[in-house]
Chain A
Amino acid sequence: METWDKLSRMPEKQARQLQEQRVQTFLGGEVAARHPAYREAWQAGGAPRSLADLARLPFTVKEDLLPPPGNPQGYLRYVLEAPAAAGSGGGILGRLLGKKTADTPEKYATSQVFFSAGRSGRITPFVYSACDVEQLREAGLRLLDVLGLTQDDTAVNAMPYLPNLCFWQIYYATVGIGATALQTGGGRILGLEKIITALENMEATTLFTTPGYAEFLLYSAIHHQVKLPELRNIIVGYTPAPLPLVKRLEVLARMVGHPEATVRRVYYLNEAKAAWPECTPGSGYHFYPDHSLPEAVETAAGRPELVLTNLDVKGSCVVRFRTGDTIDGITYETCPSCKRGLPRLTGEVERLQDIKTVVVNGEEKVLNLNSLYGLLAAQPEVLLWQAVVSPAQGLGLTVSLRNKDEAPQVLPRLQEMLAAGLGVAPQVAAASYRELAERLGIEKYPVEKRIVEGNI
């Protein structure tokens, strides 16, 4: 990785040149030689030597990374092979001097195996090498720098524990910078009461968690009249957090925590091997051009899909990997907010899997359920919600209201608002906060079940 100071001030042209160069050396050299799947795939057409070459390559999809039936070690096809030890000495002179070059086999040694979040329903190992873990530490320091956090912050990491990027990025970031931190593993592991007590006793300034859990925690703190006056940074990610939800969380955070508390977002993508933060909400997720090459590729869904190419990894490595997340686009312009020269993903990150087709009145309708997060966050009467999609029955929505006596007025209004926003009028019903929290599995699953398939 480049030095952070240099990278964050890099002009657009230079950033693109850097990526062009990495495509040539990393993809054209290392990946072409040491990656079993791409080596084979590129045998006929040759390895990419430029961004233009890369754009012509076929996509990699999640299913490609899954071990084929009967071959549990099949995932190794996407893992870079270590160079032979004999070739690692940097030539005769290097070997004589005992010098180690960048390609020492130790750097390729597996450090941790992460598993994808399981959207595919099957575990997919993604290997982080010793080198990747080192870079994860560096990415953690970059993340904290963009978020404006320092060693003096006291953090509670309430990202759900899973062997994946979201928990471990925050661990490596906090321990790397030397901040006092508690790695809770999230509500499912430690439970709400203990997390709130930890925030209180540690006088924590910073909470890392998912947007849904942040909301649940802040509501609970308000309900139990807990004050966390030092809490000034709430950093959310892993599930969608559109701007209206950020705004809503900020209002809650200021009621519970510091009067100037802010909420910021981080985008976690296991395959990127680094998390990408926003300096301010809406500024776009700042990514590292020395490490990743994202592309925005047109889809039938109307919004471009984020496609990822690793530019500097060992272990598992993907080229033109379809993430299943959509964005508005990618900009290389200097960030107007923090003035860093880092390129950014723009627009809300949405999931293609939350675009569903339902039959309403005998007619097929495509619903973008991602918009529910923003539409409902803007409704102050709604405390919790869960959507149930039935291909045959349409859409059902259960909400927990701030004042249940207002249900007769609020529910029809919500139905109308959602009909305008989604193009389909859902069936809207009310449930108690406790019942809906239970149904969402807020402390039962790694992340709550907001959108489920089933009978309405």
Chain B
Amino acid sequence: MENWQKLSQTPWQETRKMQDRKLRSFLINQIYPYSPYYRRLFDQHKLDPYKFQGVDDLVHIPFSYKEDVAPTDEQPTKHRDFIIRPDEEVSEKYGHLAKLSPYGGKQVVAEKVYEYKPVHMHFTTGRTAKSTPFVYSQRDLENIREGGRRLFDVFALTKDDVMINAFPYAPHLAFWQAFFAADALGTASLHSGGGKVLGTQNLIDAVEMLRGTVLAFIPGYAYYFMRQAAEQKKDYSSVRKLLFGGERVPPGLKDKIRATLQGMGATDPMVLATYACTESRLAWGECPSETSFGYHVYPDLEIIELVDPQTGERVAEGEEGEIVYTALDWRGTCVLRYRTGDVAKGGITYEPCPNCGRTVPRISANLQRKSEFKEFDLTKIKGTLVNLNNFFPLMMGHPQVLEWQVEIRKRNNDPFDLDEIYLYLAPAAGVNVEELKNDLRQKIIRDTEVSPNDIIIASVEQILGRLGMETELKEKRILDSRPGK
């Protein structure tokens, strides 16, 4: 791991050379000898790890996909083949070394155990495939702690901050990245486990009680939470920053949250976002600014490529593309050229950040899930693709919308009939409901190219219940009730 302060000021060309060196070493010393999956893949494709000169040669390695890693009923332990595991090597090679070592065998073995033995794990959410464990060795825990330290540095947080970690507890990256970041920096924290664990009222009280300066939330829950706190006229004047993680952040939502926080006494609160996926094993953040300058990544710990989602060809700097992740200098579960399914609309840039001056690459904060283009049978011509992503910025950012949910059903609940889209809506107080409906109908057609079959007005409580705001790990904004879905 490089020194972050130095790395974030190093010119990009030099950093790229460092990545080339690290990639060569990683492929030769870790991936090829110790990763069963990639060793097989290299052999199948007749790839010689010694011939890799650097990042440019990565294109020779076939992409890895979720289905390559995720366990199945037939292969429940498939994910293990992605773990760097020199099990036999450790006992054979280091057992022998241990006997010869002048420092004592125990020390040698302990070092290898520290480097390779899995001690911690996170799971993917399992929405599109079976939940997959990603394991960390003690050495990897140092990486995630360092990642957390860097994340907080990018956010300009200090050890004097008080963080309320409201990410829902689960063996998932969001909660644990916040924990490791606070632990590494020495920031006072309440790792609440979210509303499902602590209860929203207790959490609302906790922010005031502990004079929290930094709040870490899932976006959908944050707005609900802030509204509740504002109704109770809580004193949130201590809050300086709100960090989002776990899902995309619609731009309008930032404004709504900021306004609500200001209403509770916060002075110039900043709403900032993180980006991560379980496979990346740490999170990246955007530096504090009203305008996002993108997620600052850590080039000594990963290689980020952006590719055309259809052709898989690399795209140029600044061009839209799917984010492809390659681990660098990790142990535990490592993936190479992993297709994240996330599309960065503004691409990746290697220019120094105009806001903070750091020279690390930045991924555009305008992200979209590729997999959320769903196929609908909205007409007799089957297979209309609808981008459900577009509901989020529209609904989350709409000033007259308090809560919402989209439900997809089959007409007459008949699996062979047409699909129907219903929008449940809780409008803000005093809003002309018919005008709001008309406004939304127009905007939904504009943004998603479909028209909802009906917009159903419901109370906030009814929609919160439908969303599972207090009971689910993540609220169900898009509910696919079609039989068999």
- CB of A113 within 8 Å of the partner chain: yes
Partner of A163, one of B118, B119, B141, B193: B193
B186 near A130 (CB under 8 angstroms)?
Answer: yes
Nearest to A127 among chain B residues (CB) is B188
- CB of A190 within 8 Å of the partner chain: yes
- Chain B 460-482 interface 0/1 with A at a Cβ cutoff of 8 Å (1 = within): 00000000000001000000000
Q: B473: which A residues are within 8 A, CB to CB? A: 189
Instruction: Report the bound CA distance from A67 to B210 in whole Å.
Output: 11
CB of B191, distance to nearest CB on chain A (Å): 6
Nearest to B77 among chain A residues (CB) is A201
Q: A161: which B residues are within 8 A, CB to CB? A: 169, 193, 197
A183 near B205 (CB under 8 angstroms)?
Answer: no
A178 near B138 (CB under 8 angstroms)?
Answer: yes
Q: A104: which B residues are within 8 A, CB to CB? A: none
CB of B80, distance to nearest CB on chain A (Å): 9
Q: B193: which A residues are within 8 A, CB to CB? A: 161-163, 185
Q: A73: which B residues are within 8 A, CB to CB? A: 209, 211
Instruction: Report the bound CA distance from A161 to B473 in whole Å.
Output: 13
Q: B192: which A residues are within 8 A, CB to CB? A: 163
Q: A183: which B residues are within 8 A, CB to CB? A: 120, 171
Q: Which of B180-235 contact A (CB under 8 A)?
A: 183, 186, 188-193, 196-198, 202, 205-206, 208-211
Q: Which of B119, B183, B202 has the most CB of A within 10 A?
A: B119
Instruction: Report the bound CA distance from A189 to B167 in whole Å.
Output: 13
- CB of B277 within 8 Å of the partner chain: no
Q: B159: which A residues are within 8 A, CB to CB? A: 109
A125-B117 CB under 8 A given contacts A163-B192, A190-B171 = no
Nearest to A72 among chain B residues (CB) is B209
- CB of B458 within 8 Å of the partner chain: no
Instruction: Report the bound CA distance from A194 to B124 in whole Å.
Output: 13
Partner of B117, one of A109, A180, A182: A180
B113 near A151 (CB under 8 angstroms)?
Answer: yes
- CB of A175 within 8 Å of the partner chain: yes
Q: A366: which B residues are within 8 A, CB to CB? A: none
Q: B198: which A residues are within 8 A, CB to CB? A: 115, 123, 162-163
Q: A201: which B residues are within 8 A, CB to CB? A: 76-77
B188 near A174 (CB under 8 angstroms)?
Answer: no
A67 near B171 (CB under 8 angstroms)?
Answer: no
Instruction: Report the bound CA distance from A401 to B190 in whole Å.
Output: 42
Q: A188: which B residues are within 8 A, CB to CB? A: 196
Please count how many residues in chain A sit with their CB below 8 Å of the partner chain's CB atoms: 34
Instruction: Report the bound CA distance from A194 to B473 in whole Å.
Output: 15
- CB of A415 within 8 Å of the partner chain: no
Q: Which of B189, B205, B210 has the most CB of A within 10 A?
A: B210
Q: A67: which B residues are within 8 A, CB to CB? A: 209
Q: B97: which A residues are within 8 A, CB to CB? A: none
CB of B316, distance to nearest CB on chain A (Å): 42
Q: Which of A170-216 contact B (CB under 8 A)?
A: 174-175, 178-185, 188-190, 194, 201
- CB of B170 within 8 Å of the partner chain: yes
A185-B169 CB under 8 A given contacts A130-B186, A151-B113 = yes
A178-B189 CB under 8 A given contacts A73-B209, A123-B198, A185-B171 = no
Partner of A125, one of B135, B197, B209: B209
Q: B171: which A residues are within 8 A, CB to CB? A: 182-185, 190
Partner of A72, one of B113, B121, B133, B208: B208
A110 near B188 (CB under 8 angstroms)?
Answer: yes
Instruction: Report the bound CA distance from A64 to B343 in whole Å.
Output: 54
Q: B188: which A residues are within 8 A, CB to CB? A: 109-113
A109 near B209 (CB under 8 angstroms)?
Answer: no
Q: B210: which A residues are within 8 A, CB to CB? A: 113, 125
- CB of A75 within 8 Å of the partner chain: yes
CB of A194, distance to nearest CB on chain B (Å): 7
Q: Which residues of A are interface residues toward B (Cβ below 8 A)?
A: 67, 72-73, 75, 106, 109-113, 115, 123, 125, 130, 151, 161-163, 174-175, 178-185, 188-190, 194, 201, 446
Interface CB pairs A-B, < 8 A, 5: A130-B186, A161-B193, A178-B114, A185-B193, A446-B197
